[in-house]
Structure formats: C-alpha cells, structure tokens
Structure 1
Amino acid sequence: MTPFVHKTLVVQLQAGGAERCPVLAHLTYDADDPFAVTAVFAHDGRVLARWRLDREMLADGLDKAVGMGDVRFRPVATGPWHELRMDFFGDARTDGGRHRAVVYAWAPAVAAFLRETWEAVPPGREEVRVDDFLAEILATGWA
C-alpha cells in the first residue's frame, strides 16, 4: 500500500485587493510523488485552483521567505497567531501585471500535515522510480 496523507484546512483567500474570505484547502501527499504536495482550493463545492507544491519548500516557508517564481511562501506572525502566507501568481493581465492570489493558512496545521508526510516518507528518503517513469513515457508516446 502506498502511503497517502490528506488534510483539509480552512484557509483565508485574498485576491484582487478584496478582504480575506474563507475557502477549503485540500492538501494531499502521495508517496508515489514523494517531493510534491497537491493543494486544491475550493469554495461552495467548486475548485478554484489546483497547485503542485514542493514539499521541502512548503516546510521551509514556515520559517523563512522562499520562492521567487509563481509560488512564494513566508511566515507571518500577528501576536500569538502564526500563519503561512502563500502567494500564487497566474497568467498575465491586460494591464501588464499578473493575476495573483494570496492564501493564509494556520502554520501549526500545515506543520502537522507535513509531519504526517515525513512519517510516510522521511526527508532524504524520497525515491524516484526513473525506470517506471521512462516506461510510462515510452508506453504513452510522450516523446
């Protein structure tokens, strides 16, 4: 059986300068893709966005600012409240900027999820089955 970890969190979405609004974040870790965490953001049963995130970068973002591309993480503390700020950049807008969404998650909940993933596959023990991957490419004609 492949280790699989799933956690649903209520997070706060802020987009387009609007106030924060609560949405669900479904975080999933599958040992078959050991370096990634899938985050699906949903509201009222509708998927708003799906991102594949680097597990190590997600963990690092709990302690320091990381990322410089489409995804960036950094810790934010307001009094006793500790959050993980996740900035997601999308396609270009007509004004030359880029679409952007900011998600705030309760940092202890993200840390608890990551601990479960580390129990499934400890850091440094991730395996990539290159032969299986190449066989799949050749079988499906991805070349």
Structure 2
Amino acid sequence: MNPFVHKSLVVQLQANGTERFPVLAHLSYDADDPFAVTAVFSHDGRVLARWKLDREMLGDGLEGPVGIGDVRFRPVSSGPWEELCMEFYGNAHPDGGRHHAAVFVWAPAVAAFLRQTHDVVAPGEEELGVDDFLAEVIAGG
C-alpha cells in the first residue's frame, strides 16, 4: 500500500477581514509522520503558507470547534454547504493584535482525505519510532 496520500483542493482564504478569495490547498499525509497532515496553501504559483496539522484535531474540527492556540478548526454550515473553517494566528503586532487568516474548505473533501489517511495508518495504530531514533543516537554517540 502507498504510504502517501495527497489531495489538492480549491479553498477560500480570508485574511485580516478581507473578502474571501480562492487559493489552492495541497494536503499531504506520509505514514512516516503518522500524526501529521501537511497543508500547503498557494496562489499564482507562490507558496503562501505551510502548516503541519494534527490529523486527529483536523478530524475533530469537522464535528465541533477545536484548538486554543495558533491553529483552530470549526465546522461552518451555510445551508446545504458544509465547510471546515481552519483559522491560523500569527505573531503579535506591537499594538497587541495578531495576524489572522481563515481558510474555508468543503468539509466532505477533508473527510474523504482523512478516510484515505486512515486506510494507510488507522487511528490508534500510529507509531513514532522513538526507540529506533534513540538507538541510532546512542550508537552514533
């Protein structure tokens, strides 16, 4: 089985109170980093941001609000359209405010992507390989 899952989606970005505009989101999963999903947001061939997201938290965000730090997820419903709102907070400004961006993505697409990752590494079956890493460090030092 392929240890990688990748999905590209058109999403809506809303930054610092602007109107939403479309950007590409590239979601990827690698079984070697089983707890993480990498999200790369791009527009006109330029990478706008790259985030490592917690796979379980991403799934939980489809059901209800999660996160209290720099990354937060929550479901948003606008009639028949079900979205996941992914909020990202940056460093503080001198005035006390923070950069803030929200990405709105079609929730069923995220759910389908997560199901594919679960086919690669089922929830609860993740392994870190810490023992192998420590053995390498000890053997080399």
Structures share fold, TM-score greater than 0.5: yes
Q: Per-residue displacement from partner, 1:120-141 (whole Å, max 9, x unpaired)? A: 0000100110123335666999
The gaps in structure 1 that reach 5 residues or longer are: none
In the aligned structure 1, how far is the partner of 2:22 from the partner of 2:132? 40
1:36-75 map, 5 Å: 36-75=36-75
The gaps in structure 2 that reach 5 residues or longer are: none
In the aligned structure 2, how far is the partner of 1:137 from the partner of 1:26? 33
| More moved, 62-71 vs 131-140 | 131-140
Task: Give the aligned CA root-mean-square deviation in angstroms.
Answer: 1.8
Give secondary structure in 2 for the equivalent of 1:110: helix
- Please, what TM-score do these two structures have when normalized by structure 1? 0.92
| More moved, 61-70 vs 93-102 | 93-102
- Residues 135 and 12 from structure 1, CA distance in 2 versus in 1: closer, same or farther, beyond 3 angstroms? farther
1:1-143 map, 5 Å: 3-134=3-134
Percent identical: 74
Checking the alignment, whether the CA contact within 8 Å between 1:26 and 1:39 is kept in structure 2 is yes
- Please, what TM-score do these two structures have when normalized by structure 2? 0.94
Name segments (4+ residues, structure 1) moved above 3 Å: 135-141
Equivalent pairs counted in the alignment come to: 141
